[in-house]
């Protein structure tokens, strides 16, 4: 249901419930928002905060996105969530080692107040972790009820109307879509029957949708990306999006591949390797969890280069992706790419990239944008898979578009459509107000 009106111009709070609240990405995101609120940092990397959009009437400079559409203000974000370890966000941010101690001390008091609710954990889905702070039942129907109650309690405690839920927890093992994931009725029966193929991420997603709350999946595991939950989100009028945030190597890949294609340069092979030493790297050291990540990293090149249409250039390239867990690197991931290309008369050339990046520093602004845009989408009455948010994902739900620049165009088009919805809602409420005044 559409809920955009003049009220949106007033301060409204937005709850951000994070699954995996104590992880590296989550704590970097929350600490970052707090630092920005205090005026000691800028929201670098956030399109929603720093980007501009062509509004069709300016002198070509565009208008700041955050003025073009009514996004929640950073001052009004309220954080909470679930984790399977019982620590406050300050302790976790210190142990994640992404932000330095001096930066964290500036927001220590605020971070110490944020503590996780008990998580839903199943070791069969994450082999390299053990959960100690979990809901004390394995009954999936009961778990759904508890998660729904958590969302309601969080809203009531913080006097919130609007909440989004985002999965930033560890990557679950790779699983195919099965019959029980196809129809909502079968999926609900499988929850009641405690079926082993209903993962924790699916339970969080189901609970969020049941509570009319947008759900975002930042990891590569299936979660809401099954027909039953897509159908449920449409029926409930709730937007969902995912999956696997596009941060480092894949971000580069989806910017470079369109360039090769634009110049009709051929590709013989693309070898990508990452070394990372954070908690995510440890989880991905398990081959089943890595498979989920690999699937999402591999899908992008075919989508951009379209070998079927350009067989002479892209009909036979070799694409390989590896991730190695190397603890000394911590969160400072290093990714190497060796790209074998060919040009005029088939002469070979190579591109070598060594990207010394910081995983969570690249992911945090994506989390912010996704939370703000999904909240906007819900208030504009959008439901089901939000393909226009593909810009942020390695393996975007509902879309085979991987070209970063095409994805950005789609995102801007969607914002312009939402602007139209907002303007007509404002006009409607303006004329309602006027006619009320005339009656008085």
Ligand X SMILES: NC(=O)c1ccc[n+]([C@@H]2O[C@H](COP(=O)([O-])OP(=O)(O)OC[C@H]3O[C@@H](n4cnc5c(N)ncnc54)[C@H](O)[C@@H]3O)[C@@H](O)[C@H]2O)c1
Q: Which residue has the tokens 């006009």?
A: 427
Query: Smallest distance, Å, CB 96 to ligand X?
Result: 6
318-325/52-53 β-pairing: unpaired
DSSP helix/strand/coil, 64: strand
Tell me the residue length of the chain.
Answer: 440
Q: Is 335 in the site for ligand X (CB under 6 A)?
A: no
Of the candidate residues 245, 377, 389, 422, the single one contacting ligand X (CB under 6 A)? 245
For ligand X, the binding residues in 37-56 under the rule CB under 6 A are none
Helix (H) or strand (E) holding 83: strand 77-83
Q: Is 208 in the site for ligand X (CB under 6 A)?
A: no
Of the candidate residues 225, 280, 337, 403, the single one contacting ligand X (CB under 6 A)? 280
What is the C-alpha to C-alpha distance for residues 308 and 15, in angstroms, rounded to an integer?
45
Of the candidate residues 46, 217, 233, 278, the single one contacting ligand X (CB under 6 A)? 278
Class of residue 348 by CB neighbours under 10 A (exposed 0-12, middle 13-18, buried 19+): exposed
Provide the strand spans (E) within 305-399: 318-325, 334-342, 348-356, 384-385
Structure tokens at 80: 């909470």
By beta-carbon proximity to ligand X, the closer residue of 283 and 305 is: 283
Provide the strand spans (E) within 204-277: 215-217, 239-241, 266-276
By beta-carbon proximity to ligand X, the closer residue of 82 and 314 is: 82
Query: Smallest distance, Å, CB 84 to ligand X?
Result: 5
Query: Smallest distance, Å, CB 174 to ligand X?
Result: 12
By beta-carbon proximity to ligand X, the closer residue of 129 and 298 is: 129
By beta-carbon proximity to ligand X, the closer residue of 23 and 70 is: 23
For ligand X, the binding residues in 4-33 under the rule CB under 6 A are 19-20, 22-26
Ranked by CB distance to ligand X, the top (closest) residue is: 23
By beta-carbon proximity to ligand X, the closer residue of 112 and 185 is: 112
Cβ neighbours of residue 89 under 8 Å, at least 6 residues apart? Answer: 21, 22, 26, 27, 30, 31, 79, 111, 112, 114, 115
The size of the interface with ligand X (CB under 6 A), counted in residues, is: 36
By beta-carbon proximity to ligand X, the closer residue of 15 and 70 is: 15
Q: Is 168 in the site for ligand X (CB under 6 A)?
A: yes
Cβ atoms of 437 and 429 closer than 8 Å:
no
Cβ atoms of 389 and 397 closer than 8 Å:
no
By beta-carbon proximity to ligand X, the closer residue of 266 and 279 is: 279
Cβ atoms of 46 and 365 closer than 8 Å:
yes
What is the DSSP annotation of 281-297? HHHHTSHHHHHHHHHHH
Q: Is 169 in the site for ligand X (CB under 6 A)?
A: yes
Part of the chain binding ligand X (CB under 6 A), chosen from 181-189, 357-365, 378-386, 409-417: 357-365
By beta-carbon proximity to ligand X, the closer residue of 170 and 272 is: 170
Residue numbers at the binding site for ligand X (CB under 6 A): 19-20, 22-26, 82-85, 96, 119-121, 126, 129, 168-171, 200, 218-219, 244-245, 247-248, 278-280, 283, 359-360, 362-363
């Amino acid at each position: 249901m559409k809920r955009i009106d003049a009220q949106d111009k007033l301060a409204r709070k937005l709850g951000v419930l994070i699954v995996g609240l104590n992880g590296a990405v989550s704590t970097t995101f929350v600490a970052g928002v707090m630092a920005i609120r205090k005026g000691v940092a800028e929201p670098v990397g956030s399109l929603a905060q720093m980007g501009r959009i062509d509004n069709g009437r300016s002198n070509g400079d565009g208008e700041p996105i955050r003025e073009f559409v009514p996004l929640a203000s950073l001052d009004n974000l309220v954080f909470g969530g679930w984790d399977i370890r019982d620590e406050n966000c300050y302790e976790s941010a210190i142990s994640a080692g992404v932000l330095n101690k001096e930066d964290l001390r500036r927001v220590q008091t605020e971070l110490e107040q944020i503590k996780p609710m008990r998580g839903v954990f199943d070791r069969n889905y994450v082999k390299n972790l053990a959960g100690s702070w979990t809901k004390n039942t394995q009954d999936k129907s009961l778990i759904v009820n508890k998660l729904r109650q958590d969302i309601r309690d969080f809203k009531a405690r913080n006097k919130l109307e609007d909440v989004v839920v985002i999965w930033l927890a560890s990557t679950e093992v790779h699983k195919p879509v099965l019959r029980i994931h196809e129809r909502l009725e079968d999926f609900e029966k499988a929850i009641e029957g405690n079926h082993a193929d209903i993962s924790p991420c699916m339970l969080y997603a189901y609970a969020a949708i049941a509570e009319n709350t947008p759900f975002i999946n930042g990891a590569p595991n299936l979660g809401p990306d099954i027909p039953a939950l897509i159908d449920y989100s449409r029926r409930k009028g709730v937007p969902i999006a995912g999956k696997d945030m596009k941060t480092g190597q894949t971000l580069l890949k989806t910017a470079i591949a369109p360039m090769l294609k634009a110049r009709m340069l051929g590709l013989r092979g693309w070898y990508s390797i990452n070394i990372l030493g954070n908690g995510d790297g440890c989880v991905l050291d398990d081959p089943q969890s890595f498979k989920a990540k690999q699937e999402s990293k591999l899908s992008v090149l075919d989508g951009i280069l379209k070998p079927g249409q350009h067989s002479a250039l892209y009909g036979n390239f070799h694409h390989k992706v590896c991730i190695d867990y190397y603890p000394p690197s911590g969160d400072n991931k290093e990714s190497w790419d060796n790209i074998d290309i060919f040009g005029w008369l088939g002469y070979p050339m190579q591109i070598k990239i060594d990207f010394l990046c910081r995983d969570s520093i690249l992911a945090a602004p994506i989390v912010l944008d996704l939370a703000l845009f999904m909240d906007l989408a819900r208030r504009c009455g959008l439901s089901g898979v939000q393909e226009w948010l593909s810009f942020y994902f390695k393996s975007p739900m509902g879309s085979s578009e991987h070209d970063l620049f095409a994805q950005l165009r789609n995102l801007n088009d969607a914002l312009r459509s939402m602007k139209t919805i907002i303007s007509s809602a404002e006009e409607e409420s303006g004329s309602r107000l006027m006619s009320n005044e005339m009656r008085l």
